[in-house]
Structure 1
Amino acid sequence: MENSKVWFITGASKGLGLTLAKKLLEQGYSVAATSRNKEALIEAIGNTSLNFLPLEMDLVNEKSVKNAIEVAINHFKTIDVVVNNAGYGQIGTLEELTDEESRKNYDVNVFGLLNVVRNTMPYLRANKSGHIFNIASVGGYYGGFSGWGIYCSTKFAVAGLTEALAAEVKSFGVKVTLVYPGYFRTNFLSEESIIIPKSPIDEYEDARQSQILHQNQINGNQPNDPEKAADALIQMAKEENPALHLFLGADALEMVEQKISIIKLEVEKWKSTSLSTAFKK
């Protein structure tokens, strides 16, 4: 039966991950949920049970990731659906963010996700089934946000590797969905979740205004409902031929259409330059 499937969710102590975990448990699914703080999971969802397994996992430590997955397999005997949800937003222009700040965002948002894929795929491949959801952001499709370059680039990386993953695992019967959420009313923009630059440069006025806008006006007023996002993921996991690219929210669709329009216009404008690089026949 569909609701006998086991879901493995990263970043499940808050935000979309928490909403999804709770909804799955209510519907009778089994859930292995990970967080850097196991107590936060227990407080938010509950203690270990037949259907629920809270796991403390350091996403950037592959040994920790491998161990958490093995514990989940021992508890549930299998993993059917993987949701790579863990990640955080790093605000700051490319000039003002340090190498350390930039790499840390990549370590969590990209290499942490890869740790999970690398260590769950052997089980999915052996089962000849499964579904991987990689949660990116509409900022992984449209990156024209001042002060969000590093964060957006991590999500562009997630988009690229997910498209490749889908091609690589198709023959094993494993499905892959790349999720591009717009603005959802979670704690993503709250002080404990968003990271601001350690050494901001005042001259970047647009970036500072964007930071203020996101922290003081958009935060708490996001147009999209995380409950409905969770419903969309659960429904997509039931599809025989699920979406590879799943945009969530009218705002996400608007940004997609905006970028497609920009690309079309620039392709047409510079077509002669694009075509000028071929060897002459």
Structure 2
Amino acid sequence: MSTPKTWFVTGASQGLGLTLVKRLLREGHRVAATSRSQETLAQAVGTTSAAFLPLQVDLGDDGSVQAAIAQTISTFGRLDVVVNNAGYGIGGSIEELSEAETRQVFDVNVFGTLNVCRQALPHLRQQGAGHIINISSIAALAGATGWAVYSATKAAVSAFTEGLAQDVASFGIKATVVEPGGFRTNFLTAESLTLPQQPIAAYADVRASHARYLALNGAQGGDPEKAAAAIIQLAAEANPPLHLLLGPDAYQRATQKLDVLRQNFEAWQPLTLSTSFEA
């Protein structure tokens, strides 16, 4: 078993977040977990103990996040690992999704994650240690038809985690972005996904892509228990990676993207280099 730590996990009432919280508690860690409903979270975890702090938090409200972090510190005395897991999927072409829908998914997936990082960092800096783990997606590195806005939110998380890791390294704080593929959670259910309310018939390829993904529900190749174990192992590493792919499909999509990028860069190298000032 890894050394017991104090964890702060967002989006913990279902999916990977719930699996992670349950495993952490079984392994003897202290866990502050957030959800939009404290009651739903407590029922889902099914464990009441001095090591478990369920919190009702609006991640889009910086004050709500600040209060949750403060309560975690007050209850457990410190904070070791922050896991920004909360988020949801949205599908559709850019043209089909309203401004309100687009802003909402950025508010949750990106700004909610930023709010947690902003409020946790003063505590981590003061103690000179800590690990921020942001859950992104393989879609951040290798997008797919019909998921442009979702991919954009996850690409933002991956990109700002890279900058964050450099900003906080001198304080003894580590940052990792986890980019999973498909895991057998409720992510691909119609209840969990936001899809266009008024789909445009011309986007046949987008509809076909959504149908393929929805058909995978319950048959995804990733095991959430193994993903949770991997995240716990990650937090125990002295030198964790900046990027961690989870799942064979994530590895395949990422390496294929690397090949495509390399070919693209090399093919257009003459035009790229032609833009420099002449000596």
Give the TM-score band, short-chain normalised. over 0.9
- Name the CA distance, whole Å, in 2 between partners of 1:248 and 1:47: 28
Cα distance, 1:163 vs structure 2: 0.2
- Name the CA distance, whole Å, in 2 between partners of 1:46 and 1:76: 20
- Name the CA distance, whole Å, in 1 between partners of 2:119 and 2:198: 37
What is the RMSD computed on CA atoms of the aligned residues?
Answer: 1.1
- Please state if 1:138 is matched with 2:138: yes
- Contact 2:92 2:146 (C-alpha < 8 Å) held by counterparts: yes
- Name the CA distance, whole Å, in 1 between partners of 2:69 and 2:180: 26
- Name the CA distance, whole Å, in 1 between partners of 2:59 and 2:204: 34
2:239 to 211, 230, 241: 241
- Name the CA distance, whole Å, in 2 between partners of 1:61 and 1:193: 22
Q: Which residue of 2 aligns with 1:54?
A: 54
Q: Structure 1: which 4+ aligned runs deviate by more than 2 Å?
A: 1-4, 46-49
- Equivalent runs, 1:111-190 vs 2, <5 Å: 111-143=111-143, 145-190=144-189
- Name the CA distance, whole Å, in 2 between partners of 1:55 and 1:124: 20
TM-score between the two structures when normalised by the length of structure 2: 0.98
- Name the CA distance, whole Å, in 1 between partners of 2:246 and 2:268: 32
Q: Which residue of 2 aligns with 1:278?
A: 276
Secondary structure of the residue aligned to 2:11 is coil
Q: Which residue of 1 aligns with 2:36?
A: 36
Q: Which residue of 2 aligns with 1:71?
A: 71
Deviation digits for residues 129-169 of structure 1 (CA, Å, limit 9, x no counterpart): 000100000001112x1110000000000011000000000
Secondary structure of the residue aligned to 2:3 is helix
Cα distance, 1:24 vs structure 2: 0.5
- Name the CA distance, whole Å, in 1 between partners of 2:267 and 2:134: 35
Tell me the amino acid that sits aligned with residue 89 of structure 2.
Answer: G
Tell me the amino acid that sits aligned with residue 249 of structure 1.
Answer: G
- Contact 1:47 1:54 (C-alpha < 8 Å) held by counterparts: no
- Please state if 1:20 is matched with 2:31: no
- Name the CA distance, whole Å, in 2 between partners of 1:79 and 1:71: 11
- Name the CA distance, whole Å, in 2 between partners of 1:201 and 1:192: 21
Deviation digits for residues 187-223 of structure 1 (CA, Å, limit 9, x no counterpart): 11112211111221111001111111112x1111100
Secondary structure of the residue aligned to 2:7 is strand
- Name the CA distance, whole Å, in 2 between partners of 1:132 and 1:243: 12
- Name the CA distance, whole Å, in 1 between partners of 2:24 and 2:115: 24
**Which moved further from structure 2: 125-134 or 42-51?**
42-51
- Please state if 1:267 is matched with 2:265: yes
Tell me the amino acid that sits aligned with residue 37 of structure 2.
Answer: N
Cα distance, 1:4 vs structure 2: 2.6
- Contact 2:90 2:147 (C-alpha < 8 Å) held by counterparts: yes
- Name the CA distance, whole Å, in 2 between partners of 1:196 and 1:131: 34
Cα distance, 1:101 vs structure 2: 0.8
Aligned length: 279
- Name the CA distance, whole Å, in 1 between partners of 2:13 and 2:151: 23
Tell me the amino acid that sits aligned with residue 262 of structure 1.
Answer: V
Secondary structure of the residue aligned to 2:241 is coil
Cα distance, 1:78 vs structure 2: 1.0
Query: Which ranges of structure 1 fall in alignment gaps of 5 or more residues?
Result: none
- Name the CA distance, whole Å, in 1 between partners of 2:51 and 2:241: 27
- Name the CA distance, whole Å, in 2 between partners of 1:61 and 1:169: 24
- Contact 2:90 2:105 (C-alpha < 8 Å) held by counterparts: yes
Secondary structure of the residue aligned to 1:3 is coil
Query: Which ranges of structure 2 fall in alignment gaps of 5 or more residues?
Result: none
- Name the CA distance, whole Å, in 2 between partners of 1:141 and 1:278: 29
- Name the CA distance, whole Å, in 1 between partners of 2:275 and 2:148: 30
Cα distance, 1:47 vs structure 2: 5.5
TM-score between the two structures when normalised by the length of structure 1: 0.97
Tell me the amino acid that sits aligned with residue 45 of structure 1.
Answer: V
Deviation digits for residues 93-127 of structure 1 (CA, Å, limit 9, x no counterpart): 01111111111110000000000000000100101
- Contact 2:38 2:55 (C-alpha < 8 Å) held by counterparts: yes
